């Protein structure tokens, strides 16, 4: 899969994408990431990428020309012309739809993904209206531009590419499906065990400065381990993300446990 990142800060990406799974996916030719400097697509002496907003107001607006011309240089036409295919253009913006794991799954099926990073007060709306297929935000907080968003999307999508995870993946998928109905977009949700948050993990030493690993995990009793993991995943989900519990299929045993927790309202 080919990622094309359009930015006025190309050097921003020398780093976040050169580690771990994303780096290995590039080395294995599963992912190819090209960063394009939007200033290279300006024509004036000052390499201007922004201008004042029509109608007045604070801040500057990203001009449409460098963005359209950079995308066109990749052989990708405006949205109407190219239609729906295996290329997609995404504008990162605070006004976008929330980027979620199911969207990461959709994007992982593409041949080419173009990620446009805005800066300033915003990007000329014609980019969203006529060039991009979708406008995505990575969360409900204000960032100073789209670069971190693009890095987040490349990371989340790359690890879904077949072969990108190696052994880690298969091991993880097993625990993901642990005893629960799996939600919409398959077991690869951010939430472990099918819509719940992941259970806590421990490794040696079994006693670190008196902080002990839970007995159940040392028991060697697989049924006891499974039950413990399920219970703490339920408890953690109830505490940190109660919204998720409503969307998950709970077994009779789960419900009993959750009701016990609610009663104590820990």
Interface positions with ligand 9D3 (CB under 6 A): 92-94, 118, 121-122, 137-139, 141-146, 149
Instruction: Kindly give, in sequence order, each residue whose CB lies less than 8 Å from that of residue 23, ignoring residues fewer than 6 positions away.
Output: 17
Whether residue 248 contacts residue 183, with contact meaning beta carbons closer than 8 Å, is answered with yes
Radius of gyration of the chain measured on its C-alpha atoms: 23
Of the chain, the end-to-end C-alpha distance in Å amounts to 46
Strands 134-137 and 87-98: parallel
Of 148 and 217, the one with the shorter C-beta distance to ligand 9D3 is 148
Of 145 and 195, the one with the shorter C-beta distance to ligand 9D3 is 145
Cβ 214 to ligand 9D3 shortest distance, Å = 37
Of 79 and 120, the one with the shorter C-beta distance to ligand 9D3 is 120
Cβ 131 to ligand 9D3 shortest distance, Å = 16
Of 93 and 128, the one with the shorter C-beta distance to ligand 9D3 is 93
Of 137 and 172, the one with the shorter C-beta distance to ligand 9D3 is 137
Of 66 and 118, the one with the shorter C-beta distance to ligand 9D3 is 118
Cβ 155 to ligand 9D3 shortest distance, Å = 14
Q: In this structure, how many other beta carbons lie within 10 angstroms of the beta carbon of residue 203? A: 7
Whether residue 235 contacts residue 265, with contact meaning beta carbons closer than 8 Å, is answered with no
Cβ 172 to ligand 9D3 shortest distance, Å = 27
Cβ 135 to ligand 9D3 shortest distance, Å = 9
Cβ 6 to ligand 9D3 shortest distance, Å = 13
How far is residue 259's CA from residue 263's CA, in Å, rounded to a whole number?
6
Instruction: Kindly give, in sequence order, each residue whose CB lies less than 8 Å from that of residue 167, ignoring residues fewer than 6 positions away.
Output: none
How far is residue 162's CA from residue 217's CA, in Å, rounded to a whole number?
32
CA distances from 83 to 73, 88, 244 (A): 17, 10, 36
């Amino acid at each position: 899969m080919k990622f094309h990142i359009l930015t006025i800060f190309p050097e921003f990406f020398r780093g976040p994408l050169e580690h771990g799974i994303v780096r290995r996916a590039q080395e294995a030719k599963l992912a190819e990431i090209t960063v394009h400097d939007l200033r290279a697509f300006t024509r004036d002496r000052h390499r201007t990428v922004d201008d004042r907003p029509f109608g007045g107001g604070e801040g500057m607006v990203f001009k449409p020309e460098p963005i359209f011309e950079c995308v066109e240089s990749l052989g990708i036409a405006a949205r109407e012309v190219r239609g729906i295919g295996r290329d997609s253009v995404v504008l990162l913006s605070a006004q976008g739809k929330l980027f979620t794991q199911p969207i990461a799954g959709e994007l992982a099926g593409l041949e080419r993904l173009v990620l446009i990073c805005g800066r300033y007060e915003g990007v000329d709306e014609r980019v969203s209206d006529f060039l991009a297929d979708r406008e995505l935000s990575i969360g409900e907080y204000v960032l100073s531009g789209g670069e971190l968003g693009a890095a987040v999307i490349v990371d989340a999508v790359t690890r879904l590419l077949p072969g990108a995870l190696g052994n880690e993946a298969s091991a993880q998928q097993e625990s993901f499906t642990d005893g629960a109905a799996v939600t919409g977009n398959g077991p690869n949700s951010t939430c472990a065990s099918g819509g719940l948050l992941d259970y806590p993990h421990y490794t040696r030493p079994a006693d670190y400065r008196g902080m002990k690993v839970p007995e159940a995990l040392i028991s060697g009793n697989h049924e006891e381990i499974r039950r413990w993991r399920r219970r703490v995943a339920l408890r953690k989900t109830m505490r940190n993300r109660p919204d998720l519990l409503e969307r998950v299929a709970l077994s009779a045993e789960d419900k009993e446990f959750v009701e016990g927790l609610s009663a104590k309202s820990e």
